Structure 1
Amino acid sequence: MSEKSTTLVKKITKQFGIKAAAQKRIRGGIYRIVTPNGRKFSLKRMTNQPARMRWMDRMLIRVQRKGPLLAWRNPQKPEGRKPHAISRNGEIFVLTPWISGREPSPLSLADMRACGRALAKFHKAGETALKGGISQSQIGQWYSKLHKRQHYLQKMMAKASANRFSVPINRFIQQHGPKILRYANQAEAMLRSSGYDSYRKNPRKYGVLCHGDGGPSNFILNNKGTYLIDFETLHVDLRAYDLYRVIYNSCKDYRWNFSIAKAILDGYREVTKLKKMDYKLMRAWLRFPFTTFLVVSPFKRIPFTKDRLQWALDNEQRISSFLQKLEEYEKRH
């Protein structure tokens, strides 16, 4: 770590009333802090505004009181009394316990069931945490989200038609672009026929607290149970959205092996039932060619290359049979 970063971390941790005897940068804006007596914490820079941070903190503390395991502050402890700290540059940081353990593996069906159970417990506790107040809701934004992403795909297809990229990329998109756009159109049609309109018009009835970007990297398993971590995408939504994100992030790198999704859903159903509508909404999101969208977007972790476009197309094509298996699973349960 640079001297500047070390100094920043020491100043921020001091605001929380702890001393950083050792610190390690995990990735951008996330540090592991070790105190002189060996206690470990996670210091994380948040992109959220103060008002939203106060809402997140209030919701997560309410959820914790209901029993789910979360990597969040304990207001009963000295280091947990301060919700967040602000640097001289106006950056917001939160201090949470460092959860020792391991990330779940999509290759372990037991791990995936544990993630499903943990998510269901979070949703059940989140329903009561809202206490009838709907704030930070994205329930009514599904059409606009899909439309915005679809429009971006169309724009990139038009650029390929005008030969604005390298020759291999132009040719690939010109050949396969129509299929990708068909998938996007199918997703929108599936959403419109799902009954989603009745849900978005009744957010108080159907809304739950959602993690927003669940996946193997946002769960930690240890001998105490399954923890949820990293809550910067926390918002109010339909539970189907969270299930979609966990399934997508767990299956996309494993050739859309349905047994992974089945284990997640089995675990979820051990805690609470799923409705026919939940499955319809999940299928609509899963049908959208999101992997292709990530490749053509300015997303630094996924390069915009012909090989990556082929990888994305393979994903989109596998989802077709995956959705059939999901529908069969729904009928059985």
Structure 2
Amino acid sequence: MALEKYELTVSRIIKGRGAYICDTGIGQKLLVPYRGHEQRACTLRDTLAFIQRNGMDVEQISQTKEQCIISRDNCEDAYILKDYRAGRECSTDSIDDMRGGSRALAQLHNILEKYPLPSDIEVESLYEKAQRKCAQIVKLKNYILRRSKTNAFEHLFYECYERFLEQGQKSAEILCELENSKTSVPIYCHGAFNQHNVVYTQSGRWLPVNFETMHPGYPETDLAEYMRKMLEKNHWDTAVADAILDSYCSVRSLDDTSMRLLQALLLFPEKFCKLCNHYSNSRKSWVCDRDVDKLAQLIQLSGEREEYLHALQAIV
């Protein structure tokens, strides 16, 4: 058992969402599966300690009895043990919650921009990433064209792919332009900032949680993901978008370059690409009804999304 590797007295274990909540003599801990090498885990631990020293009480990672970050069970599966920050997740139905999550993200970015990135670290090109995803759309289109019969998902895909591909290519153009100007400064980013990974704690503060996807990148990617998730749940309501942006900017300002980068990231059809990727990697003899429903809903909301993007373009 991976928990046996730690100096802990565990009184109770509760199975959570892919993890184990442990009541211990030094507070609640969370044992979570870890994918990555030891050095990356050490960097994550150091970064979280830096964030805490700079005023944000985020989760900290424990060391084993042998002073290792990663522990392994009898099957050699890897885990890390970290503090459990109890609280309720951000509600996508509450403007106040979404504002609170946005402010917490801005506070996190203000701290992380002070944390020095290693000089030899590589930051993924957003332009190249967008290009790869656009190529996947084209590849799926060509695959469908070769088929004699189309299923429900493929029929919906063929109805809308041109519009989404055009948005992806336009986004890639903007990302290329911004990348060439080299005006954006990379920092460590949360990597999966959404309504599930920011909680309102018993101390009355909003805190980001679950930093396992932290990576060097651009802070606008965190903000874009958060906004995208919130807006998808709220029919791309401009008032919701304004509330999130205003709350973020009340803590951390966004200059013209940051706003243009944010615009490009929101323009990119991220959810459409995820659905296409999932379908491309699945068995074609059986179509997942959930994927069909998600694509139909995405198409249904596309008009509202485009209306918001048009309004955003007008102010950038």
What range describes the TM-score normalised by the shorter chain of this pair? 0.7 to 0.9
Q: 1:16 to 1:82 in 2, by over 3 A?
A: farther
Q: How does 1:188-203 map to 2 (within 5 A)?
A: 188-193=172-177, 195-199=178-182
- Normalised by the length of structure 1, the TM-score is 0.83
Deviations 1:154-181 (A, max 9, x none): 1111122223774323322223222221
Deviations 1:204-263 (A, max 9, x none): xx1222101101100010242111111121011121111111111222222112222222
Partner of 1:54 in structure 2? Answer: 42
CA contact (8 A) 1:209 1:237 kept: yes
List runs of 5+ in structure 1 lacking aligned partners: 1-10
Partner of 1:4 in structure 2? Answer: none
1:172 matched to 2:156? The reply is yes
Q: Which amino acid aligns with 2:108?
A: F
Q: 1:89 to 1:231 in 2, by over 3 A?
A: same
CA contact (8 A) 1:286 1:319 kept: no
Partner of 1:8 in structure 2? Answer: none
Shift of 1:119: 1.0
1:106 matched to 2:77? The reply is no
1:219 matched to 2:198? The reply is yes
Correspondence for 1:318 among 298, 304, 316: 304
The separation in 2 between residues aligned to 1:198 and 1:294, in whole angstroms, is 29
Q: How does 1:1-333 map to 2 (within 5 A)?
A: 11-28=1-18, 30-35=19-24, 39-73=27-61, 83-130=69-116, 133-134=118-119, 136-138=121-123, 140-163=124-147, 166-193=150-177, 195-199=178-182, 206-224=185-203, 225-298=205-278, 305-327=291-313, 330=315
CA contact (8 A) 1:163 1:170 kept: no
CA contact (8 A) 1:209 1:235 kept: yes
- Normalised by the length of structure 2, the TM-score is 0.87
Shift of 1:274: 0.7
CA contact (8 A) 1:73 1:95 kept: yes
The separation in 2 between residues aligned to 1:197 and 1:90, in whole angstroms, is 44
Deviations 1:127-161 (A, max 9, x none): 2222x5346542x4111111111111111111222
The separation in 2 between residues aligned to 1:326 and 1:69, in whole angstroms, is 34
The separation in 2 between residues aligned to 1:73 and 1:269, in whole angstroms, is 30
CA root-mean-square deviation: 2.6
- Worse-superposed segment, 222-231 or 291-300: 291-300
Q: Which amino acid aligns with 2:15?
A: R
The separation in 2 between residues aligned to 1:137 and 1:118, in whole angstroms, is 26
Count of residues paired in the alignment: 307
Percentage identity across aligned positions? 19
Q: Which amino acid aligns with 2:175?
A: L
- Counterpart secondary structure, 2:10: coil
The separation in 2 between residues aligned to 1:253 and 1:26, in whole angstroms, is 24
Q: Which amino acid aligns with 2:22?
A: I
Shift of 1:311: 1.5
CA contact (8 A) 1:127 1:208 kept: yes
Q: Which amino acid aligns with 1:26?
A: G
Q: Which amino acid aligns with 1:39?
A: G
CA contact (8 A) 1:70 1:229 kept: yes
Partner of 1:7 in structure 2? Answer: none
